[in-house]
């Protein structure tokens, strides 16, 4: 808890999380509850499905976080909540391609870490225009990194990348042949991010199979363990060396009205980050 703290606190460890919330409006209470439990210092969100004007700045402020939001409402929408600073907000390459594909990219510097929250296009089906747009989006994401970042930076690229990088990232690889999320071009696009200088830090800490971040709402797939690992925390080498743990919080997928994605987070030894002052709510004056 940050309540009761006097003066700025310095953190030696920073927790950076990502969660496709599938409508922040519907998920608001759940997100607030998860933040209170998990205490992330930075939370990247995807599929907020909100216009910027409807972003719940005050609710995050009350919890001690600044919020940057990029959305047009209805579909897509990405955000970054931070309690260790939030500056140099960028919408990146949004709107520059033949199919802009909506609000799917947001970058901000939190503490001294560059955080990029992305929501990759789904692709729907192979050999369709939306599939080609997905690959094009990936190409533009890589180009953004090449132009606007350096592999030597402290950078986290996180979010719903809509790619299962390897066969162990899907519950049954034989069902995912010649389909989106696993196709060779998609995996090559994902691999190109790693080749640029990013590390799949969750996989480093958890080489075991059966670790997923998304489960179809239908057919009780979550309870049957039928999921995919399509949400990722990709970090540069300098941060990978300082990552002490990474986890997927399956518990957040349980209960009533969950998102179909679970949040995941990485804990980094980044000494000297200053925790933002919690907002002091105005108090009602009592007449005497």
Partner DNA sequence: ATGGTCGCGCAGCGA
Query: Does 28 engage in binding with DNA (CB under 7 A)?
Result: no
Nearer to DNA, 5 or 74 (CB): 74
Nearer to DNA, 15 or 104 (CB): 104
Quick one: tokens of 157?
Answer: 């690229």
Q: 232 forms bridges with which residues in the sheet?
A: 159
Residue-wise DSSP of 114-176: EEEEEE-----STTSHHHHHHHHHHHHHHHHHHHH--TTS-EEEEEE-----SGGGBS-GGGS
**Among 10, 218, 283, 286, contact with DNA (rule: CB under 7 A):** 218
Query: Does 271 engage in binding with DNA (CB under 7 A)?
Result: no
Residues in the chain: 288
- Dihedral sign from CA coordinates of 236, 213, 67, 41: negative
**Among 122, 206, 245, 279, contact with DNA (rule: CB under 7 A):** 122
Query: Does 121 engage in binding with DNA (CB under 7 A)?
Result: yes
Residue-wise DSSP of 51-91: BGGG--HHHHHHTT-EEEEE-BSSS--EEEEESS--EEEE-
Query: Does 126 engage in binding with DNA (CB under 7 A)?
Result: no
Among the residue ranges 141-149, 218-226, 232-240, 243-251, the one whose residues contact DNA (CB under 7 A)? 218-226
202, 162 in Cβ contact below 8 A?
no
Query: Does 73 engage in binding with DNA (CB under 7 A)?
Result: yes
- C-alpha dist (Å) from residue 97 to 93, 103, 122, 139, 283: 8, 12, 16, 10, 49
Kindly state the smallest distance separating residue 184's Cβ from DNA, in Å: 21
Nearer to DNA, 26 or 194 (CB): 26
Judged by CB under 7 A, how many residues of this single chain contact DNA? Answer: 20
Among the residue ranges 81-89, 141-149, 215-223, 273-281, the one whose residues contact DNA (CB under 7 A)? 215-223
**Among 61, 148, 221, 238, contact with DNA (rule: CB under 7 A):** 221
Distance CA 50, CA 73 (A): 4
Nearer to DNA, 120 or 248 (CB): 120
Residues lying near DNA in the complex (CB under 7 A):
22-23, 25-26, 49, 73-75, 121-122, 124, 130, 175, 216-221, 257
């Amino acid at each position: 808890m940050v309540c009761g703290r006097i003066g700025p606190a310095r953190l030696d460890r920073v927790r950076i999380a990502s969660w496709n919330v599938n409508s922040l409006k519907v998920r608001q209470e759940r997100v607030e509850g998860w933040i209170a439990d998990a205490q992330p210092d930075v939370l990247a969100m995807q599929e907020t499905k909100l216009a910027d004007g409807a972003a719940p700045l005050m609710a995050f402020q009350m919890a001690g976080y600044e919020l940057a939001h990029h959305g047009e409402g209805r579909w897509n929408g990405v955000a970054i909540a931070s309690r260790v600073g939030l500056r140099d907000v960028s919408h990146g390459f949004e709107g520059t391609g033949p199919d802009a594909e909506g609000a799917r990219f947001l970058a901000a510097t939190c503490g001294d870490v560059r955080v990029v929250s992305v929501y990759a296009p789904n692709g729907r089906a192979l050999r369709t225009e939306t599939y080609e747009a997905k690959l094009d989006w990936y190409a533009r994401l890589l180009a953004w990194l090449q132009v606007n970042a350096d592999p030597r930076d402290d950078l986290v690229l996180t979010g719903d990348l809509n790619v299962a990088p390897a066969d162990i990232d899907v519950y049954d690889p034989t069902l995912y042949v010649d389909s989106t999320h696993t196709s060779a071009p998609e995996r090559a696009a994902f691999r190109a991010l790693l080749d640029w200088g990013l590390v799949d830090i969750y996989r480093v800490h958890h080489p075991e199979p059966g670790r997923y971040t998304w489960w179809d709402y239908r057919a009780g797939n979550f309870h049957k363990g039928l999921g995919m690992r399509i949400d990722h925390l990709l970090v540069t080498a300098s941060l990978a060396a300082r990552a002490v743990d990474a986890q997927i919080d399956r518990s957040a997928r349980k209960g009533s009205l969950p998102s179909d994605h679970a949040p995941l987070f990485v804990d980094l030894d980044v000494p000297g980050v200053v925790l933002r002052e919690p907002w002091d709510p105005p108090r009602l004056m009592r007449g005497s």
